[in-house]
Homo-oligomer: A and B are copies of this chain.
Amino acid sequence: MKSTSIGRFQLSLTAAVIGATLSMLALPTAAQQAMQPMAIERATILSKPGVFGVFTMFKLRPDWNKVPTAERKGAADEVKKLIEKHKDNVLVDLYLTRGLETNSDFFFRINAYDLEKAQAFMREFRSTTIGKNADVFETLVGVTKPLNYISKDKSPALNAGLSSATYSGPAPRYVIVIPVKKNAEWWNMSPEDRLKEMEVHTTPTLAYLVNVKRKLYHSTGLDDTDFITYFETDDLTAFNNLMLSLAQVKENKFHVRWGNPTTLGTIHSPEDVVKALAE
């Protein structure tokens, strides 16, 4: 079991949006950084803005059962080597959903400074033994941005609250990915009104800093969603309560997509995921 450390928790699901749009002309430094060749370091890439996230959910075809056992058993090693080959370009996480989801058996989260590099990795995966025997059920593409709504300037008390506690539970065993899309009424609200609703949204979530890790990717125009929200936890009842508290604020009235699909999986090393599916 792998303990994924997320350098910096982004509590507010959509907090980064307004600032980004207001400061968009001053911001392209993030995009420029994305072009710089740099070795992939987990803690760094998971805390930077301007990083692309590609989530790809796969479902094994029935033919997978007919692949000779030896070839199936070799699949984990093949994937391990592919990850090694691309280690200077992408950070690869692989999760197991078989048994918990209808439409997927496993899914990737690829983090990359350059989206073309993420595409290259996913394309090569499709030519591996397991990749050739799996169908893509869902792909979500997003990019990280600086914290926006609940920033030091705009909402100092809540911003401090977000730093007042860190995850202190057991190593997370579960991962949840939930795409979020908001309607035109939300986007047509003034930045001040959206900030206000995001503060109401954020307040009840402080209590869950200790048992749920979170990360946010922005997707408007890159995919048919506005955000990809990513969570890790070891306490699914706490997570259920966190989601209920987010359902109970006014911001929820502006959602046109919240899930669809919600993807729930377990956290393992990439090799262990492939091995579990090759049994």
Contact = CB atoms under 8 A, between A and B. Distances in A.
Interface in A8-66: 17, 20-21, 24-25, 27-28, 30-31, 34, 50, 52, 54, 56, 61-63, 65
A261 B169 CA distance: 36
Contacts of A249: 188
A40 to B, nearest CB: 17
Most chain B beta-carbon neighbours within 10 Å: one of A52, A116, A240: A240
Interface size class of A (residues with CB under 8 A): 35 or more
User: How many copies altogether?
Assistant: 5
Contacts of A239: 221-222
A24 B264 contact: no
Contacts of A34: 237
B31 A244 contact: no
B244 A220 contact: yes
A188 to B, nearest CB: 6
Given A224-B261, A244-B17, A62 B63 contact: yes
Interface of A: 17, 20-21, 24-25, 27-28, 30-31, 34, 50, 52, 54, 56, 61-63, 65, 96, 98-103, 115-116, 118-124, 126-127, 132-133, 135-139, 141, 143, 145, 173-174, 176, 178, 184-185, 187-188, 207, 211, 218-224, 235-245, 247-250, 252-253, 255, 259-262, 264, 266, 276, 279
11 contacts: A21-B241, A61-B62, A62-B132, A98-B122, A99-B119, A99-B120, A99-B126, A184-B247, A184-B253, A185-B253, A188-B253
